[in-house]
Structure 1
Amino acid sequence: MTTPPTPPPHPRGHRAPRLARLFARGSWPETRRISSVLRKETVGGALLLLGTLIALVWANSPWADAYTRLRDTAIGPHALHLHLTLGQWAADGLLAIFFFIAGLELKREFVAGDLRDPHRALVPVVAAVGGMAAPALLYVILNWNSGGDDGDGGSGALRGWAIPTATDIAFAVAVLAVISTHLPTALRTFLLTLAVVDDLLAITIIALFYTDTLALAPLLGALGVIALFGLLVQKRIRSPWLLIPLALTAWTLMHASGIHATVAGVLLGFAVPVLGARSADATASGHQQAGQGTGHGTGHGMAEHFEHVWRPVSAGVAVPVFAFFSAGVTVGGLSGLATSLQDRVALGIVAALVVGKTIGILGATALVARFTRARLDPSLSWWDVLGASLLAGIGFTVSLLIGELAFGAGSERDEHVKVAVLTGSLLAATAATLVLRARNHTYRRLHEAEQVDADADGIPDVHQGSLTAR
């Protein structure tokens, strides 16, 4: 793999394009924030892996029936159409918190983060689109002849086209922690941003393509409640006694509308303001200070406050519990695994996660480099982009959710989907480990350079003396 050719020098008096380097180091405030987020996601990823492991062991033990009974236990009021199984509560309810955080994160990235600059946003956004389009296309190609009614409740194989499109950042970061690689900050930021854009596109796909019926009145009611929620948070009202009931009402109405209730989580996240008064002024002037921001109306605003409160709930409770109720598939040993992977849906998912994701992200990034004449940051190589692309093939949380929506929770094909998602994610993690570990000596050197603070002012020296220190 070679770096795209260096563009010729610009004539005297002409400026070079602003997008000069791909995967350049970001600003210190953004680097610090991304590091904090990923530390929390590492813990969440460990709990996710633990929940998955417990579910798999239990579902393949002599007590598998007890696991199934627990997952299928229904609770909730019939009158509100909320008499759901525990598995459904995890998928529809707890994941709404996960998508609320995704909405907050995406808005922060494009309002207060480095990605408010369209030139910086271009690479992860285009890579996210490529990383969703290529797996979907590969899945469709492999399942084209199975697109009709195949006896799976009238749901053809093509209904699963969106399953391999999402990246699970918690799972990916947990893999990084296990293999002990010092992935450069720029690549970590790229992965996180790509995963967040992934989540937005995934929830859009769920709303548009996996909504069978639509009740207009509850939908309008949900949007009205979300608008009221947004008005209150814009006025800096934080009372949980007021905001949580509004959020639950919006979720209930969205669920009643026929659109997947997690969509309410994303919309509520978008409604939260990102900047406080001082931050807005500083951002407008282009001189926001590294240490500014407390989340109390003077720094990054309400979004930082809500993210601080709810991210631990999402990473530590919502996602691991969902994994526990969704990953418990009875494999049946090697013969059962082979049987599941003979399903073309399963094969399509595995190929799309491992090959499609890699081609989509790597190819999209190369196209950005080709058509913008941008160069890869000198500290990195295209092998690093390949490793990150393979790591993005770890799909879990959203992939399992879409599998349930496509084929029905607990159906035979849904069981095959779970096996395929786990297999594909494991293969992608293994391939990424081989590539990234081979480059770990370079990453360790870059990591050490990023820690040097000779003047002991709390800001690493690499972030000073240039525009990145702003």
Structure 2
Amino acid sequence: MEPVKTRLFSRGSWPETRRIADLLRLETVGGVIMLIAALVGLVWANSPWAPVYEMLRSVEIGPESLHLRLSLAEWASDGLLVIFFFVAGLELKREFVAGDLRDPRRAAVPIAAAFGGVLVPALIYTAINLGGGPELSGWAIPTATDIAFALAVLAVIGRCLPSALRTFLLTLAVVDDLIAIVIIALFYTDDLALLPLLLMFVPLALFTVLVQRRVRSWWLLIPLAVATWALMHASGVHATVAGVLLGFAVPVIRKSGEGPGLAEIFQHRWQPLSTGVAVPIFAFFAAGVSIGGLSGFVTSLTDSVTLGIVLGLLLGKPIGITAATWLIARFTKADLDDDLSWIDVVGLSILAGIGFTVSLLVSELSFGEGSADYSNAKVAVLLGSVLSALVATVILRMRNTVYRRIHEEETRDADNDGIPDVHQQTAPTASGATTENRGPTDS
């Protein structure tokens, strides 16, 4: 008997599909809030009241003795954004420990796509800025995908998009953020203070021990998390790295009879704060760049930094993601799922060119506040993200009829048992028998 061929973007289990759907709904709402916050910041920064906006960004608060006397803009990027990366760390660990992506064959596609979507934009930016100088330090800016923003656009233009593609976009974006965090830690740490970095592992270890014992007491965990963040900040490594480390420390698998795992509980508690508060506030402070009218906008378009970022997001992302996915299919002899076409993959990969949150963060780390390159980088991130969203909208809307047909097939429930029939279709096993695809049971 011939072995069952691997299929790219095949349908996941029903429990995982439901979980992803719930997560996507929350990210979509957060994306809309973030977009509104960014527009308010951008309009305010280009209005007659721009000095008030700049004054607000520069207001400093915090204890000087602990080296935490930061401006509101710095608190947004160094402090609040840690919550975003903590949730990202929880989601990434959960995907690979208990999600459908614990299967290496299913995980290989979004991981390879994420690496392709990081490598090609970086190469494009570097090629345009080969002259050297400070401009070259922004090579990592167009490498990130914004989870909330991309999913918000996807919710508007592709409500009937197959769930496997939605899961692919979410997983790709999370892995993408992890790669970005590694890049930040390795390449954007100028002055490393070794003592605070070593001391950071003390509260992190205590936090890990407590959560591994399923301790949920906020009065114990939050002070340890804050201490981990503060020491990471003092070490010179960007403080958002602490968020990912804390997320990775939380256990995913539940104890028998204990209900949801601790990672699921923490994600349920912290994700609304991340998508509804932390990321929008960061977007409000980060997106406020003075364009300088039409002439200033046109001038910025000729800058090599702007060109590198825009082309990296608009062309590099889809080229890297689609090429990596095709290579996986080519060398593993996998087929695309019957319901899908490669144009779906192309449209989704263009949508991944929406950078925004992490791209704006890397822009700040690359060039510093107040520089011309930083202003051009912010304009480029906004422009590249908008263009990627528009082009993806055209492609995915053209496929909307196909998506609707697939969606109707997925949601048919003839036996009224609460599980769509498509998740109960029999699949051949190695012995020739059949099994129902109801997904893994909780244990």
**1:190 paired to 2:191:** no
Residue 297 of structure 1: CA displacement?
A: 3.3
Distance in 1, matches of 2:44 and 2:274, equals: 24
Deviations 1:404-458 (A, max 9, x none): 0000023221111110000001111111001100000011111122221222221
**1:211 paired to 2:171:** no
> What SS does the corresponding residue of 2:47 show, helix, strand or coil?
coil
Match of 1:266 in 2: 244
Q: Does 232-241 or 459-468 show the bigger shift?
A: 459-468
Deviations 1:237-260 (A, max 9, x none): 101111011100100000001100
Unaligned runs of at least 5 residues, structure 1:
1-12, 149-155, 279-295
Aligned pairs for 1:218-297 (under 5 A) are 218-278=196-256, 297=258
Match of 1:346 in 2: 306
Match of 1:286 in 2: none
Residue 14 of structure 1: CA displacement?
A: 5.2
Residue 178 of structure 1: CA displacement?
A: 3.0
Q: Which amino acid aligns with 1:15?
A: P
Q: Identical aligned pairs, as a percentage?
A: 65
Q: Which amino acid aligns with 2:56?
A: L
Aligned partner of 1:201 among 175, 179, 183: 179
Match of 1:468 in 2: 437
Structure-2 change in CA distance of 1:16 and 1:458 (3 Å)? closer
**1:408 paired to 2:368:** yes
Aligned pairs for 1:28-43 (under 5 A) are 28-43=14-29
Deviations 1:319-360 (A, max 9, x none): 000000000011122211111122101100000000000100
Aligned-residue CA RMSD in angstroms? 1.1
Q: Which amino acid aligns with 1:214?
A: L
Q: Which amino acid aligns with 1:304?
A: E
Contact 1:275 1:297 in 2 (8 A): no
Distance in 2, matches of 1:304 and 1:173, equals: 20
Match of 2:332 in 1: 372
Contact 2:42 2:288 in 1 (8 A): yes
Residue 37 of structure 1: CA displacement?
A: 0.5
Q: Which amino acid aligns with 1:175?
A: V
> What SS does the corresponding residue of 1:459 show, helix, strand or coil?
coil
Q: Which amino acid aligns with 1:103?
A: G
Unaligned runs of at least 5 residues, structure 2:
427-435
Q: Does 433-442 or 168-177 show the bigger shift?
A: 168-177
Match of 1:15 in 2: 3
Distance in 1, matches of 2:437 and 2:245, equals: 32
Match of 2:59 in 1: 73
**1:102 paired to 2:88:** yes
Deviations 1:253-289 (A, max 9, x none): 00001100000000000000001123xxxxxxxxxxx
Q: Which amino acid aligns with 2:109?
A: V
Deviations 1:179-198 (A, max 9, x none): 35421101000000000000
**1:399 paired to 2:359:** yes
> What SS does the corresponding residue of 2:16 show, helix, strand or coil?
helix
Match of 2:259 in 1: 298
**1:326 paired to 2:286:** yes
Contact 2:158 2:403 in 1 (8 A): no
**1:168 paired to 2:146:** yes
Contact 1:25 1:468 in 2 (8 A): no
TM-score, scaled to structure 2? 0.95
Distance in 1, matches of 2:303 and 2:193, equals: 35
Distance in 1, matches of 2:425 and 2:11, equals: 13
Structure-2 change in CA distance of 1:37 and 1:348 (3 Å)? same
Residue 157 of structure 1: CA displacement?
A: 1.0
> What SS does the corresponding residue of 1:298 show, helix, strand or coil?
coil
Residue 16 of structure 1: CA displacement?
A: 4.5
Aligned partner of 1:120 among 106, 122, 147: 106
In the alignment of these two chains, the number of paired residues is 430
Contact 2:120 2:320 in 1 (8 A): yes
TM-score, scaled to structure 1? 0.90
Q: Does 177-186 or 230-239 show the bigger shift?
A: 177-186
Distance in 1, matches of 2:46 and 2:166, equals: 35
> What SS does the corresponding residue of 1:214 show, helix, strand or coil?
coil
Q: Which amino acid aligns with 1:207?
A: A
Contact 1:236 1:297 in 2 (8 A): no
Distance in 1, matches of 2:423 and 2:370, equals: 51
Deviations 1:36-82 (A, max 9, x none): 01000010000010001100110111000000000011111100000
Q: Which amino acid aligns with 2:211?
A: V
Deviations 1:349-374 (A, max 9, x none): 00000000010000000000110000
Contact 1:165 1:202 in 2 (8 A): yes
Q: Does 420-429 or 336-345 show the bigger shift?
A: 336-345
Q: Which amino acid aligns with 2:242?
A: A
